[in-house]
Amino acid sequence: MTYRIGQIVPSSNVTMETEIPAIFRARETVAPERFSFHSSRMRMKQVRPEELAAMDADSGRCAAELSDARVDVLGYACLVAIMSLGRGYHRTSERNLAEVTADNGAPAPVVTSAGALVNALHILGARTITVVCPYLRPLTETVVGYLRDEGVDVADYTALEIPDNLAVAAHDPKKLVPIAAALDHRDADVIVLSACVQLPSLDVIEVVEAELGKPVVSASIATAHQLMRALDLPAVAPGAGTLLAGGYAETPFAEH
């Protein structure tokens, strides 16, 4: 069976449509299901609060367009857009966008990368984490505050301070290895190597896990996990770290 994955993507994002399909293609090597990917874009070039808010206001149109294609599930790519619009906003966004699909006669569950990361951290039993963010420091502090409000303490974090979204995508993932190692992760249960679906990290997730000896996750991996669970499929994929290694394959989908 082939499932249709809808992706609501910032116009300048080029990583969501690379890493999420790569994770699903890895799953196809160990499971029979197949997947196609379909995107709708919201305008955003600079990762700044005013652009993020304007972009999010366009997400309903994207959900309607993707439901026209009768996708089976929708993933909303921009973590910081959701987190910058108020504590707990991922629940509101997921409900609202799911209602758009239902009103269009093609109801489909919705996964936001913000909600997926929160859920992944709880699934992994993370009480304390370290986080790598590409954002400017004020937006990074917003992300840290959002996660703390969701019951996850942040022991240490870094802000790469890259406002241009294409420059975020161009960041060499190998550079994340020493960046993660430099954080104070002594008390961390989990390392979030990329709290952004635009910052590439998939290729080094397991490198950092091996180096630091702790579970490592990214917004993309968390989103893929929740997309699979929303489809009621076991969430597994080789090469994507602890979350998708099989031990959390059957955890419930966190529907709001």
Q: Which sequence spans correspond to the domains of the chain?
A: 2-114+220-244, 116-218
Q: What's the CATH code, domain 116-218? A: 3.40.50.12500
In the annotation, is 62 catalytic?
no
pLDDT reported for residue 53? 79
- pLDDT beneath 70, residues of the chain: 255-256
pLDDT reported for residue 256? 59
Q: What's the CATH code, domain 2-114+220-244? A: 3.40.50.12500
pLDDT reported for residue 175? 97
Q: Is 116-218 the same fold as 2-114+220-244?
A: yes
How far is residue 76's CA from residue 223's CA, in Å, rounded to a whole number? 9
In the chain, which residue ranges form alpha helices assigned H by DSSP? 16-28, 49-56, 59-68, 79-83, 89-103, 113-123, 137-149, 165-169, 176-182, 205-212, 219-230
pLDDT reported for residue 211? 96
The residue from 133, 196, 199, 216 that is catalytic is 196
The residue from 20, 78, 193, 236 that is catalytic is 78
In the annotation, is 196 catalytic?
yes
pTM metric for this prediction: 0.96
How far is residue 115's CA from residue 79's CA, in Å, rounded to a whole number? 8
pLDDT tens per residue, range 97-150: 999 999 999 999 999 999 999 999 999 999 999 999 999 999 999 999 999 999
For residue 36, which amino acid is it?
S
